[in-house]
Chain A
């Protein structure tokens, strides 16, 4: 695949994974149930759908801009490439930790969370923002920078949006499932 292909493809895959994980994180610690496989799958899909809904418009605008002025494609590509160069290793570390979580056995599983997954959740917004700075420098264009910033903002919004969804769901059906947070974060 050429750079024109793998840069957008890579970004889409990363955004999809990030959205699915955000959906999962938002669902954790809500219901208190023990067997949650189905609930967890639904949470990942909800995250994926929310990421698509939030990132779709940004991608649409980029596409419209490129169709109208094809000469700008290279700028988007340069910006996307540096974002990918930053996000790919970060994503690889997270995926490696998840693989570790799966194979480590129950006694050592916690290591994956304590050493990598927890700190990565912590670092995620900062890494995302650093991607925008790199994209701004590589793209050298206001519209490209705005597109990078908007896509990062959209990805970071997935979890808070779903958190609000959980609170709203809890308000609608309070007695059934304990969920949601009512106090300010």
Chain B
């Protein structure tokens, strides 16, 4: 599946100055008229989007996005999986790295409720500096034991490949990658020698798209959140695509991922992980 439609947050968080006219033209050219209308209202100075305002917008969008993680009980699902994974290796120290952590909701929640027990280091990594800075501030405000890094989580050394057994997790990240980019994503984790990976993303289907529409209309305020939220449900990869990519990139991790029946809503498994464990 080629991704030819864009989420606004992807186009806004490139780290480079963005010309608003060029952005609007790009969206219009791709037939994304609603996104183009939202982009046309973004604040500019000299034709270029105002970085500080865009950062503030992205923070607001991710604050709203956190609601989805809350409703879907995402951190508990993550905790459940890690606890099960760790049951076989209770004594070893473990590092959990959340790739694309955004405001670090999952990491901060795991720290707040200490679900994983002692000996677990919690790290959130995101390419977007504004988001991780805020994540760190929020963690400090609640005195949580976790840390945040700005950078590419899969670049060697960013989240530390220092021999500590590491589990890489993510949520809502996979649909930002195209089908062609997915194998390299899994291969990078294999190259880092991670102990396991578990990436949660939306199980696509007509019910999920409908649910995303209702949820975002009822619970989100930012036009960007509403636009991107519904689009994510449409862009999400089916389990078959994820499995094929994980098998191509990290075959020895025995990847697993399962979707529910397409025409029957699986409301309590809107997010499901693709997982793999080192041989």
Taking Cβ atoms with an 8 Å cutoff, the residues of A that contact B are 25, 28-35, 106-111, 113-115, 118-119, 121-122, 163, 174, 178-185
Contacts and interface: CB of A to CB of B under 8 A. Distances in A.
Is chain B's interface secondary structure helix, strand, loop, or mixed overall? helix
Contact of B63 (A25, A29, A163): A29
Contacts of B109: 34
Interface string B58-87: 011011111100011100100000000000
B270 A110 contact: yes
A106 B60 CA distance: 26
A76 B62 CA distance: 46
A167 B141 CA distance: 21
A101 to B, nearest CB: 10
Nearest to B63: A32
Interface string B251-264: 00000000000000
10 smallest beta-carbon distances between A and B, as pairs: A29-B64, A121-B218, A178-B59, A34-B112, A29-B67, A32-B63, A118-B218, A181-B221, A106-B73, A122-B218
Contact of A30 (B63, B103, B267): B63
Contacts of A119: 214, 218
A143 to B, nearest CB: 34
Interface residues of B, number: 42
B231 interface: no
Interface of B: 38, 41-42, 53, 56-57, 59-60, 62-67, 71-73, 76, 103, 105, 108-109, 112, 134, 138, 141-142, 144, 211, 214-215, 217-224, 267-268, 270
Tell me whether chain A's interface is mostly helix, strand or loop, or mixed: loop
A180 B59 CA distance: 10
B105 A183 contact: no
Contacts of B66: 29, 32
A92 B267 CA distance: 23
A180 B268 contact: no
6 contacts: A28-B67, A29-B65, A29-B221, A32-B103, A110-B268, A182-B53
Nearest to A112: B71
Given A34-B108, A118-B214, A183-B222, A108 B268 contact: yes
Given A34-B105, A182-B56, 6 more contacts: A28-B67, A32-B59, A115-B267, A118-B219, A178-B59, A185-B223
